Amino acid sequence: MATAKSDAFVFFGATGDLAYKQIFPALQALVKDGKLDMPVIGIARSGWTVDDLRKRAEDSLKEHGGVDKAAFAKLSRQMQYIDGDYGDAQTFARLRKALGDAQHPLHYLAIPPSMFVPVVKGLAASGCAQGARVIVEKPFGRDLHSAQALNRTLHRFFREHDIFRIDHYLGKEPVQNLLYFRFANSLLEPIWNRDHIASMQITMAEDFGVQGRGRFYDEVGAIRDVVQNHMFQVLALLAMGPPANRSADAMRDEKLRLFRSMRPLKPEDIVRGQFDGYLKEPGVAKKSTVETFAALRIHMDTWRWAGVPFFIRAGKQLPVKCTEVLVRLKNPPQQVFDAPEGAVNHYRFRLNPDVIISLGARVKEPGEAMKGRPVELVAHRHIRTGMMPYQRLLGDAIDGDSALFTRDDCVEEAWRVLDPIIGDKVPVHKYKVGSWGPKEADALIADAGGWNDPKVDVPAKAGK
């Protein structure tokens, strides 16, 4: 049974990049909505004061969404700051004092994964873990062994339902829309199986590089950075069975069933790539073999999906910034009219930069000849405003709602699938900046009709 609503918000890494870009805007939004009426305690080792933290928060808001005077004034009054080392017991003693009468604090570890264990142990030793919840940022381990070790440590001090493994992708409105569209409508279910679907593919393309985060990225790579979490979560929403109800455990039980059905990947199921120039990025090892691109082929041993291949492609320095799903349907059993090779029908779900749900079909061209052309029936919703992912997720964690967070067994099953190919177990191929990755990735999906390369209207860049 869940504990009461959190009554204090503590975030480690208060002076870091994540706090600047995401946490401060989310906190102001929560204050504005009346969902954050509690102490907000930032902790870092920067030699700062609480006034420095308030200035940092104000600068963050000016750059990311704007300052709401009333909400920011209230947030500033709630702010406290503790400066100290995460390995120093005195840091946690000061935190315990700052928490005062709070019985159910929420501790957010917006820090590198290497610091998770010392902070969790410090919270426990000082009594700050009593009745508390903890939010852990991805990646949840580097492989199956480290994920299991992290979970064992967390479970020493926190109950599983008090552990919130945050993946901001699950807080995005378009991803929520995908889940809603699947299970709020009856039109998909009759055909959402191996009898009618030929293949599914997910592309997460980014038109930029590592953006000055070379040292971090060189320790992670595309598979750990986005595939094991973001892409696998989207895949689960596409392929999982209908949950028994809307509860967090019912949703996550269905995801677990799906992850358990996935075959462990083999070297022939993956292509890794690295864009030209990556080795010159600051912080990147001179002979790094870390991938900035990954393409995977996944099979699931279930009644619904037996024989249907699923493909995931994610990479940096690709032609556009876009995340898109393409579901190719099997062709009619008999071609009455001439049709080109490949799938006649498809569903397309675009998750960003805009939201598109469309059905691809063929219609007759005007004239006497029975010739057709492809069309898309489009339901389009461009999200200009909406709840920020971190606002949604932090608000849910404060309330104890874990539906959009990842459970320990799901994390470990996802790593089980990827573990055989993690690291340098398959070669890395070079690819040109602005291309769709190494050509070797095309062979992976050749028998399923090839990759769908998303096309996005890109504004002209200054100076061109």
Q: Nearest to residue 395, comparing CAs of 3, 9, 1?
A: 9
Would you state the torsion angle of the CA atoms of residues 402, 403, 404, 407, taken in this order, to the nearest 10 degrees? 70
Distance CA 181, CA 463 (A): 41
Helix H or strand E segment including 57 = helix 50-63
Would you state the torsion angle of the CA atoms of residues 69, 8, 125, 1, taken in this order, to the nearest 10 degrees? -140
Active site residue 107: no
Q: At residue 457, what is the residue type? A: D
CB 16 within 8 A of CB 44: yes
DSSP 34: T
Return the bridge partners of 315, or none: 205, 293
Q: Where are the beta strands (DSSP E) in 277-405?
A: 293-298, 310-315, 322-329, 346-352, 355-364, 372-381
For residue 11, give every residue at least 6 positions away whose Cβ sits within 8 Å of its Cβ, in sequence order, or none: 19, 23, 40, 41, 42, 43, 107, 108, 110
Of 145, 230, 346, 380, catalytic:
230
Q: Is the preceding omega at residue 282 within 30 degrees of 0, hence cis?
A: no
Residues, the chain: 464
For residue 380, give every residue at least 6 positions away whose Cβ sits within 8 Å of its Cβ, in sequence order, or none: 354, 355, 356, 357, 358
CB 397 within 8 A of CB 379: no
Distance CA 332, CA 349 (A): 22
For residue 184, give every residue at least 6 positions away whose Cβ sits within 8 Å of its Cβ, in sequence order, or none: none
Q: Are strands 40-44 and 105-109 parallel, antiparallel or unpaired?
A: unpaired
210 CB burial (10 A radius; 0-12, 13-18, 19+): buried
Q: Nearest to residue 329, comparing CAs of 356, 348, 357, 313?
A: 348
Among all residues, which ones are annotated catalytic?
Answer: 230
